[in-house]
Structure formats: C-alpha cells, structure tokens
C-alpha cells in the first residue's frame, strides 16, 4: 500500500509565523509614523485657532480688506495670494511633528497683547496702514502661541512666521530703489560714452528725456525674491 503524507502549503504554521515576524517589523520607539493620526489635543487647538481667526477677521476687517485691496491693485503684491497655500504646504511637510507632538496651551503670552494693542491703536490714530497690518499678524501669532504652546510653536516656527508675508510691505523703499536704479543707469550710459544729464529720477540724453518711474524701481522683483527665497530656504534647509 502506498502512503501519502500531506504537507501544508507554504510550510508549517510556526514557519509562516516566523516569516511574518521578519517582514512586519514595527518602527523604532519614539519615531513618528508618516500618515499617523494627529496627536491628542489638536482638534481643540484647531477649533480655537479657527474661532480666533474668525474673530480677528471681523474685528480687524478694515485692515484685512485693505491688505487684500493692495494685493489686487498692485502687481508688486499679487504673490500674497499664494502665501496661505505656501503655509499649508510647509505645515504638510511637518505632518510628522503634528502627528507626534500634542499642543500644550499656555496663557502667559497673553501678557504681550496689551502692548501690541497699544501699538496698533497708535498706528490707527496715525493712519499707518502697514503698521496696523503687521501688528495684526503679530497679535495673531500670540494667539497661535497660546493655542500651541512654546515647544510646538517653535517646531512650526518657519511656516507660522511666513504669515507676516501676508502684509504688503516695502512700498517705502520705492524712492530709494528709484534713486539706485537712476544711478546705475547713468553709470551704464557713461560707460557706453553717451552724454548724460540726470536730475533726480529724470535722465536726459541726446535722443530724449527719460524718467525712472515707480514701476522701474524693482520693488516687485525684490519683494517676490525675498518671499520665494525664504520659502526655498525653509523647504531645502531644515534642521534635523
């Protein structure tokens, strides 16, 4: 009689368990897992920040509307519409931090609020729109510090500080940039041997008279270069 012994497919049960143990290795302790759920406390922190943003938008609606109007009207600040998406991307890059560190709300940063509010009031009395908008962002940064706590705020410092680029600032540099552009232009014409007479932003050559207009000052290029240069630096050079 022929006896056939039956063997389980894929090896014995202990062997299969042993193989599974080698392939399903768990990550080292303390290392954040990509795609993991956010650490406890984030839901409350996000809700608090959302309510605070809504309140700020209502209370300081004139400052917010003024900033958005400048974004639309001035080509030097059209890039400001990209700031919030860029902040969102920087936060997404730090999702491992969000998944592993819980917010620890603290109240001591609120002690800074009276001073910032006083500065904002002075800027409002003097009608300095740029200063009011910068102080508005600074006060919102204090709210973020309260909601997240010092440690988490420090870990997310780069994307949170990026919010200051929402303020259309730098217009005061236009006269200086015009002067620099005029000096460079006159120097270049002199090197080419072209007779030149300059008076402020006006440059006269035999072919006619030209003006270094505000659009030629280079503010748009300068501001956009600073913003996207900072973004590139934050993305490419992260401390480990």
Question: pLDDT value at position 41?
Answer: 84
Domains in the chain: how many in total? 2
Specify whether 113 is located in the same domain as 194. Answer: no
Top pLDDT among 227 and 21 is at: 227
More confident residue, 54 or 196: 54
Cβ atoms of 217 and 177 within 8 Å: the answer is yes
138 with 186, same domain? no
pLDDT computed for residue 37 by the predictor: 63
Q: What value does the CA radius of gyration of the chain take, rounded to a whole number of Å?
A: 29
Q: Please write the tens of the pLDDT for every residue from 114-171.
A: 999 999 999 999 999 999 999 999 999 999 999 999 999 999 999 999 999 999 988 8
Whether the pLDDT of residue 205 is over 80: the answer is yes
DSSP letters along 143-176, please?
Answer: HHHHHH-HHHHHHTHHHHHGGGGGS---GGGHHH
pLDDT value at 43 more than 70? yes
Q: Which domain holds residue 92?
A: 42-167
What tokens were used for 177? 């940039």
**188, part of any domain:** yes
Residue 31, pLDDT score: 45
For the cut 70, the answer to whether the pLDDT of residue 223 exceeds it is yes
Position 36 confidence tier, pLDDT thresholds 50, 70, 90? low
Structure confidence at residue 22 as a pLDDT band (50, 70, 90): very low
Confidence band of 15 (pLDDT split at 50, 70, 90):
very low
167, 185, 214: which is the final residue of a domain? Answer: 167
Domain co-membership, 112 together with 209: no
Domain match, 46 and 163 both: yes
Average pLDDT, the chain: 83
Last residue of a domain, one of 167, 186, 214: 167
pLDDT value at position 13?
A: 46
In the chain, DSSP finds a helix count (H) and a strand count (E) of 11, 3
Q: Where is average pLDDT lowest: 59-73, 76-90, 197-211? A: 197-211
Mean pLDDT of 25-49: 67
pTM for the full predicted model: 0.76
What count of other Cβ atoms lies within 10 Å of the Cβ of residue 148?
25
Q: What is the mean pLDDT of residues 3-20?
A: 47
Distances (CA, A) of 147 to 41, 48, 117, 165: 10, 7, 19, 21
> Do 238 and 131 sit in the same domain of this protein?
no
Q: Which of 162-171, 204-213, 222-231 has the lowest mean pLDDT?
A: 204-213
131 and 190 belong to one structural domain: no
Task: Say how far apart CA 94 and CA 215 lie, in whole Å.
Answer: 38
pLDDT of 227 reads 93
| Domain shared by 224 and 115, yes or no | no
Minimum mean pLDDT among 48-62, 70-84, 100-114, 207-221: which range? 207-221
Same domain, 152 and 54: yes
Distance between CA atoms of residues 42 and 20, nearest Å: 35
Flag whether pLDDT at 26 surpasses 60. no
């Amino acid at each position: 009689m022929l006896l056939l012994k039956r063997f389980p497919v894929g090896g014995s049960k202990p062997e299969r368990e042993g193989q599974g143990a080698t392939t399903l290795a768990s990550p080292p302790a303390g290392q954040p897992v990509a795609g993991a759920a956010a650490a406890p406390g984030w839901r409350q922190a996000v809700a608090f920040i959302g309510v605070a943003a809504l309140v700020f938008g209502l209370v300081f609606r004139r400052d917010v509307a003024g900033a958005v109007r400048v974004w639309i009207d001035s080509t030097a600040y059209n890039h400001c519409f990209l700031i919030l998406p860029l902040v969102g991307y920087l936060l997404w890059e730090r999702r491992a931090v969000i998944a592993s560190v819980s917010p620890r709300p603290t109240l001591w940063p609120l002690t800074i609020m009276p001073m910032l509010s006083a500065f904002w009031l002075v800027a409002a009395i003097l009608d300095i729109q740029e200063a009011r908008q910068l102080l508005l962002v600074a006060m919102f940064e204090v709210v973020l510090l309260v909601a997240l706590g010092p440690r988490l705020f420090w870990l997310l410092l780069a994307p949170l500080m990026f919010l200051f680029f929402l303020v259309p600032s730098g217009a005061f540099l236009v006269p200086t940039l015009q002067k620099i552009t005029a000096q460079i232009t006159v120097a270049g014409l002199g090197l080419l041997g072209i007779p030149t007479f300059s008076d402020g932003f006006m440059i006269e050559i035999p072919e006619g008279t030209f003006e270094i207009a505000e659009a030629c000052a280079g503010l748009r290029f300068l501001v956009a270069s600073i913003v996207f240069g900072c973004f590139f630096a934050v993305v490419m050079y992260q401390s480990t």
